[in-house]
């Protein structure tokens, strides 16, 4: 790793984002962490709807700042502009000409109705890379195009809830947090970087269209892949053992999908005879006899050990095994500390640090620096409009007075 003067890879790239909640904010936060200058456009009254999520802290003016906002907006600047006023739209279009990337994550068609859709922005800035993240994309042929979406909606529509559903139980929503949001953000980031590279080579900008449902289907590829091969559910799929088991002080996760690993498992838990049991001769048999044969044997052995001891034995024998950590254990995890994956922030009236996941992208030649805080609502409105558009104090005061800019 070189010295602290090493520039971050996206320094010089500028992003103007009309965004809310998680899908686009996570993407632009990642771009900011990689060095991009990100200006966030919010409504003067209330701002990004993620500010209203729970749990929450309060900013210096007593406004609520929710957890969704806190974990998706580090290192950005906030500008409050009312896009339902023509003057507000004019300000955003004028600003757009000074930025490389324009982003929005409204329901499809909303940006166009506001006057800041791709064609409107491209008309003033032909080289713009315009990122649209929506539930179902911009294609009018999609039967879902006009629907709104949160992560849980597209996750359910991806089939993963039904695929993972246990027999006799309803589907579980949001089993792994906002997969639909984060996957969309990652594909959106890849799209932006690709479009910027394309622009470098051709001089031509373009729209990057990411549908949350598409991103989630890509991330849950097992659903469509298995269905095409005759399997509608993970239960009874015959893939092997992918489950949690109880030890004396908690649970561990075990994945065993190879026959030689199964023989090793039987030996390590002190039940080598199970490897020769005809009922367990296939991976499907491992699943079919989990409740009556395998789980009792595994947990009888594991119950005499702590989670750490069980994981140490099985991992040491070459098996894929790890602890099922509680939230408190994750926070205290040594690996995450070593990798700088838990960033402490102290926003507003928070009495203890609020933790935000760090940047998983570790670059050997670019050291990680301190994380800038999230912006308060409209914290940079006057500063940005003066710098970008040359507005003087009287012009800014007039815009404030007419409610075009804020915060309110």
The pLDDT averaged over each successive group of 10 residues in the chain (408 residues) is 69 98 97 97 95 93 93 97 98 98 96 98 98 96 93 94 89 85 97 98 98 96 93 78 96 96 97 96 93 97 98 97 96 96 88 92 91 94 97 97 92
What is the per-residue burial (b if ≥16 Cβ within 10 Å, else e) of 174-198? eeeebbbbbbbbbbbbebbbebbee
Q: Which domain holds residue 58?
A: 14-222+343-401
Q: Give yes or no: residues 53 and 178 share one domain.
A: yes
Residue that finishes a domain, picked among 324, 358, 378? 324
The 10 Å Cβ neighbour count of residue 328 is 8
Give all strands (DSSP E) within 136-278, no chain letters. 206-211, 241-247, 250-256
Q: Three-state DSSP class for 73?
A: coil
Q: For residue 29, tell me if it sits in a domain.
A: yes
Q: For residue 282, tell me if it sits in a domain.
A: yes
Q: Give yes or no: residues 282 and 134 share one domain.
A: no
Distance (Å, whole) CA 106 – CA 104: 6
Measured at the CA of 46, the angle between CA 107 and CA 210, to 5 degrees, comes to 25
Q: Give yes or no: residues 251 and 397 share one domain.
A: no
Q: Look at residues 185, 190, 194, 155 and name the one whose alpha carbon lies nearest to residue 171.
A: 155
Q: For residue 98, tell me if it sits in a domain.
A: yes
Q: For residue 363, tell me if it sits in a domain.
A: yes
Q: For residue 211, tell me if it sits in a domain.
A: yes
Q: Look at residues 318, 315, 368, 325 and name the one whose alpha carbon lies nearest to residue 343.
A: 368
Residue that finishes a domain, picked among 275, 295, 324? 324
CA-to-CA dists, residue 194 to 117, 131, 190, 207, angstroms: 21, 12, 6, 11
pLDDT of residue 116: 98
pLDDT of residue 142: 96
Distance (Å, whole) CA 18 – CA 83: 10
Q: Give yes or no: residues 32 and 111 share one domain.
A: yes
pLDDT of residue 1: 38
Distance (Å, whole) CA 48 – CA 61: 16
Q: Give yes or no: residues 191 and 285 share one domain.
A: no
Q: Look at residues 104, 63, 117 and name the one whose alpha carbon lies nearest to residue 378.
A: 63
Distance (Å, whole) CA 255 – CA 107: 39
Q: Give yes or no: residues 63 and 189 share one domain.
A: yes
- CB distance 173 to 156 below 8 Å: yes
- CB distance 130 to 208 below 8 Å: yes
Distance (Å, whole) CA 62 – CA 369: 29
Q: Give yes or no: residues 361 and 304 share one domain.
A: no
Could you give the number of structural domains in the chain?
Answer: 2
Look up the pTM and report it. Answer: 0.92
Q: Look at residues 233, 264, 78 and name the one whose alpha carbon lies nearest to residue 168.
A: 233
Residue that finishes a domain, picked among 324, 351, 383? 324
């Amino acid at each position: 790793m070189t010295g602290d003067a090493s520039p971050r890879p996206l320094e010089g790239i500028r992003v103007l984002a009309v965004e809310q909640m998680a899908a686009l904010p996570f993407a632009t936060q990642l771009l900011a962490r990689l060095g991009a200058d990100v200006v966030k456009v919010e409504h003067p009254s209330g701002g990004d709807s993620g500010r209203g999520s729970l749990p929450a802290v309060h900013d210096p003016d007593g406004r609520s700042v929710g957890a969704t906002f806190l974990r998706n907006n580090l290192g950005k600047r906030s500008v409050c502009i009312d896009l339902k006023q023509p003057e507000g739209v004019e300000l955003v279009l004028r600003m757009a000409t000074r930025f490389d990337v324009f982003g929005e994550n409204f329901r499809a068609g909303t940006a166009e109705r506001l006057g800041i859709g791709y064609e409107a922005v491209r008309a003033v800035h032909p080289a713009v890379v315009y990122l649209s993240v929506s539930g179902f994309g911009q294609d009018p042929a999609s039967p879902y195009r006009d629907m709104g979406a949160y992560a849980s909606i597209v996750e359910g529509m991806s089939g993963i809830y039904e695929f993972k559903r246990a027999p006799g139980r309803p589907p579980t929503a949001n089993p792994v947090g906002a997969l639909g949001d984060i996957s969309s953000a990652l594909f959106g980031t890849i799209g932006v970087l690709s479009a910027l590279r394309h622009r470098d080579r051709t001089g031509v900008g373009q729209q990057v269209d990411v549908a949350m449902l598409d991103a989630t289907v890509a991330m849950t590829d097992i659903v469509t892949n298995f269905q095409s091969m005759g399997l509608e559910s993970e239960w009874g799929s015959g893939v092997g053992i992918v489950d949690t088991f109880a030890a004396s002080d908690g649970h561990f996760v075990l994945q065993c999908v190879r026959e030689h690993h199964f023989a090793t498992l039987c030996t390590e838990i002190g039940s080598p005879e199970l490897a020769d049991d005809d009922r367990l001769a296939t991976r499907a048999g491992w699943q079919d006899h989990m409740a009556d044969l395998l789980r009792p044997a595994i947990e009888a052995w594991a119950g005499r050990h702590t989670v750490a001891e069980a994981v140490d034995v099985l991992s040491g024998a070459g098996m894929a095994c790890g602890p099922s950590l509680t939230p408190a254990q994750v926070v205290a995890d040594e690996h995450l500390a070593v990798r700088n994956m838990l960033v402490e922030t102290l926003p507003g009236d928070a009495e203890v640090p609020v933790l935000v996941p760090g940047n998983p992208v570790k670059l050997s030649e670019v050291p990680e620096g301190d994380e800038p805080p999230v912006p308060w609502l409209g914290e940079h409105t006057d500063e940005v409009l003066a710098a970008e558009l040359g507005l003087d104090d009287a012009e800014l005061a007039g815009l404030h007075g007419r409610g075009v800019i804020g915060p309110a």
